Structures are given as structure tokens and as C-alpha cells.
Amino acid sequence: METFNVVLKTGYKIVKDFSEPHKNMETSGGSESSGGEDAEARRLRRGHVLAELLQTERVYVQELGSILTGYKEELEKPENQHVLPAALIGQTDVLFGNLHELFTFHQEIFLKDLERSISATELVALCFVEKRDTFFRLYSYYCQNIPRSERLRETLVDTHLFLQACQQRLGHKLPLAAYLLKPVQRITKYQLLLKDLLRYSECGSMSSGLQQALDCMLVVLKCVNDSMHQIAITGVPVDLNQQGELLLQSSFLVVSENKRDLRLRIRPRRRHIFLYEKAMLFCKPATKNSHNKATYHFKHDLQMSQIGLTESVKGDPRKFEVWRQGRAEVHTITAPTADVKRAWVERIKRVLLDQLNELKGERVRQYGAQHRTLIQTSSWELGPGAAARAGAAPARAASCDAHDEPCWSTDPSDDDDDEPEHAPVGTSILYSMTA
């Protein structure tokens, strides 16, 4: 394992102390003698990036602390209440969100971890991997609160005299609004620093650890970004907290058909789709507001327990379908790229398979309790012919309204006489059960 002695003052100085037994592990593409100069240059660059990571983390902690002491604590002092606008009294949690929790985490935990680990790149990478869930929880909450904070500040205007006085006492060049964006900027900066460390690392445990750290922070960024889109949904009639984890969100062209109402066969519409564990939400992107932020108007939802999936639609590798059992309602979805389509199809399949496995397990437990000697004859354990011999209805005749057994079909349509305009090809999966 390499070690760095990093001295941070106004600038930073790197003093190298490399451990001899690990030189070969950190060298790629040849021996130390053949690539020693390049390896040395990479070590120096890694040292500079590590120094930047630690130095900027200390600055970040100091900035968060200054916001809390210079603004939040001043706003909460009883002697200042008479000079505050009515809209601000008792609203510091709205204005600052969970900034204090962020500050505590970075000052008491993450910064100390970095200080202990900064001499070894692999240990720095581990700091990010171990704290991934905490990063996601804290920064998701903070980012979701940003719109509320902005709306509150809009009623005040940042040039309010009290806030101006706080800014002057702190010596801040920028108003409060700019400092409240520091957490967003910081969570974005980590993945850039990790990419630099990875660029200057050699093959082996160092690069694999950094790649894992980078992957973790990219996941955190994606989740935070998804959560920011989620809070922009308006008019949704269901409780999003009851729909499980938000898995994916993206913009598509969608054509919808409904056997009960042929008027719903319409030209492609732009829809932003949110995929949850229990539902898919179709929303209409709205014109961006004065802050250039997107909003989404709810239009339709599908419960994942009631849908079928057609992986491929003839004529366009970017298309797939989701549909209610019997294809009474079909949504043909065109992704921006084949890669996006592939990611969505795989994730939807995983949700459907997870639901089926969960239902199977529950049914096995129920059936075993009532018919212990017949547990191996459960419907999902029978072959295609065995179900018919046992008198069971064929799977493709099952209905969400009449049955609560899971059913699977490789046929995308339950009505052979009613083919869609673009006949789907490839694998089609139907999974249905009562909601």
C-alpha cells in the first residue's frame, strides 16, 4: 500500500514515502524500471488530488459552519425576533433544510475519516464506499428541500436588511442563496476528484477500490437527481411514499391505445416516466418556470402488479411496450436510445420477477399450511400440460379481475384476432396478480 505524507497549509507539499513491498502491485504495463518515470508522475498527481480532496473538505466544513452560526443561529436568537419578517419566524428548518445534520456528518465523521486515511489511496476510497448510504440519505433530503427554501426566500428577497447584515458580519462576498448551494456543488465535486484519482492510479487493489468508490458516488448522484425530479411532480393522486423506491426516471415518446376507448389511440406524446417498485407514472413535462426548473403534470399510472411487458417492437430497436392484461390498454414507448430502452426493460423485468418470486413464496407458505402432502403440485410447479390435466385454466386465459394466481405468457396478446398495428416481436412477459 502506498503512503503519502500530505502537509496542508496555504498550499500543499507532497512528501513521498513509498512502501517497497507494494511497488509491483501499483505498476501496470511493465516493471518499475521500465515505467518508473510514469509511475512517479502518477504518484505525484495522486498526491495533489488527495491534498485537494482534504483541503476542500476542510473548507466545505468551515463554510457550512459559517452559514449555521452566521445566519441560522442569528435567526433563532430571541432578541432578534422583533426585526425579522413574519414569513421567517419559526421557518429556519425550511430555509436551511437539514444543513446542520450535513455539517455534523462532515465535521465529526467524514472529515475525520479522510484525515486518518489520506496517506493511502485505498483507504480514502473506502471512506466513500462505507458512507454511501449516509451520503444518499442526507443529500437527498437536502436537495428535496431546496424548492421549499427557494420559495421562502422569494417572499423575502435576499437583500432583506437582516440577511444583508449577517452577510456583512461573515465577510461573505455572495448572498445566502449562493452558500445554500454549497452542498449541491460538493456532492458533485466528489465524483470528479475520484475520477482524477482513478486516472492516476495503477491496476490492482488501488484502482479497483477507487472504481468502487466512484461507482458509489455516481449512484448517489443519480439517486439525488432522481429525487429532485420526483418532487417536481404535480397533481399525482397516489401517495408516492407508498410506491416503493424510485428506480428510474426519463423522458420518452409514448403512444397509448385503449380497447374501451378508441379515441385514446393518439399520436406520440412526450411523457416523463417514473418507474417505482410498485407503479409506473406517466407525466407531461411542463414549461420550465422562471428558475429554469422542470415540473411534471401527472397524467396516468400503471400498477406494476397488473402489467405485461413486450421487450421488442418490430421496426425500431428503441421501442418496447407495457400493457394491462388482455392488452386492453397498451403503451408503446420509444426511448431516446437503444441503451436507455435496454436499461428500462431489464429493470422492469427485474421488478416483475421479484414480485412473482415474492408471491410464490407467500403462496407456498399458505398452501403448505393447508395441504402439506400436496405442496409439490402447486400451479406454478406444474408443467404446461400438467395444469390442463389437473383441470386448471390455461395461464393465458387468466384475468386480473377474476384470479389472484401469477400467470406468465410468451404471447403478447390474449386476443389473437386483435393484432396491434405494430406486432411485437421477441420475448414478452405477462405477470398479473390482484393489486
Q: What number of residues does the chain have?
A: 435
**Rounded-to-5 percentages of helix, strand, coil across the chain:** 55, 15, 30
Q: Of 179, 201, 230, which residue constitutes the final position of a domain?
A: 230
Range with the lowest mean pLDDT among 27-31, 89-93, 159-163, 319-323?
Answer: 27-31
424 SS3 class = strand
Query: 279 φ, ψ to 5°?
Result: -160, 155
Range with the lowest mean pLDDT among 5-9, 39-43, 72-76, 251-255?
Answer: 5-9
Give the domain CATH number at 351.
Answer: 2.30.29.30
Instruction: Check residue 410 and give its pLDDT.
Output: 32
Q: Is residue 188 part of a domain?
A: yes
Residue 77 pLDDT greater than 50, yes or no: yes
Q: Report which of 402, 403, 395, 404 is spatially closest to residue 430, judged by C-alpha positions.
A: 395
Alpha-carbon span 334 to 415, nearest angstrom: 24
Work out the average pLDDT over 385-399: 37
Instruction: Check residue 425 and give its pLDDT.
Output: 37
- Better-predicted residue by pLDDT, 430 or 247: 247
At 230-271, the pLDDT tens digits run: 888 888 888 887 888 888 999 999 999 887 766 556 678 999
**Residue 300's beta-bridge partner residues?**
282
Cα 325-329-330 angle, rounded to 5 deg? 100
Q: Is residue 388 part of a domain?
A: no
Work out the average pLDDT over 319-326: 89
Considering the domain architecture, whether residues 40 and 92 belong to the same structural domain is answered as yes
- Burial of residue 373 (CB within 10 Å: 0-12, 13-18, 19+) is exposed
Give the domain CATH number at 57.
Answer: 1.20.900.10
Considering the domain architecture, whether residues 283 and 400 belong to the same structural domain is answered as yes
Work out the average pLDDT over 125-152: 90
Considering the domain architecture, whether residues 37 and 137 belong to the same structural domain is answered as yes
Give the count of domains, the chain: 2
Q: Is residue 272 part of a domain?
A: yes
CB distance 35 to 27 below 8 Å: yes
Residue 392 pLDDT greater than 60, yes or no: no
What percentage of the chain has pLDDT greater than the value 70? 70
Considering the domain architecture, whether residues 223 and 244 belong to the same structural domain is answered as no
Q: Report which of 140, 74, 68 is spatially closest to residue 100, judged by C-alpha positions.
A: 68
Considering the domain architecture, whether residues 200 and 256 belong to the same structural domain is answered as no
Q: Is residue 235 part of a domain?
A: no
Give whole-number Cα distances, 2 to 32, 73, 95, in Å: 14, 43, 44
Considering the domain architecture, whether residues 248 and 270 belong to the same structural domain is answered as yes
Alpha-carbon span 252 to 271, nearest angstrom: 5
- What are the grid coordinates assigned to 359, written together? 408471491
Considering the domain architecture, whether residues 291 and 353 belong to the same structural domain is answered as yes
Q: Is residue 435 part of a domain?
A: no
Q: Of 188, 207, 230, which residue constitutes the final position of a domain?
A: 230
Residue 426 pLDDT greater than 90, yes or no: no
Considering the domain architecture, whether residues 253 and 219 belong to the same structural domain is answered as no
Q: Is residue 387 part of a domain?
A: no
Give the E-state strand segments of 259-364 in sequence order. 269-276, 279-285, 296-303, 307-313, 319-324, 329-334
Q: Report which of 344, 291, 316 is spatially closest to residue 150, judged by C-alpha positions.
A: 291
Which residue range forms the structural domain that includes residue 355?
Answer: 240-382+393-430
Considering the domain architecture, whether residues 218 and 293 belong to the same structural domain is answered as no
Considering the domain architecture, whether residues 168 and 285 belong to the same structural domain is answered as no
Q: Is residue 170 part of a domain?
A: yes
Alpha-carbon span 359 to 431, nearest angstrom: 11
Q: Of 206, 230, 254, which residue constitutes the final position of a domain?
A: 230
Considering the domain architecture, whether residues 218 and 257 belong to the same structural domain is answered as no
Considering the domain architecture, whether residues 201 and 326 belong to the same structural domain is answered as no
Instruction: Check residue 363 and give its pLDDT.
Output: 67
Q: Is residue 17 part of a domain?
A: yes
Range with the lowest mean pLDDT among 158-167, 196-205, 419-428?
Answer: 419-428
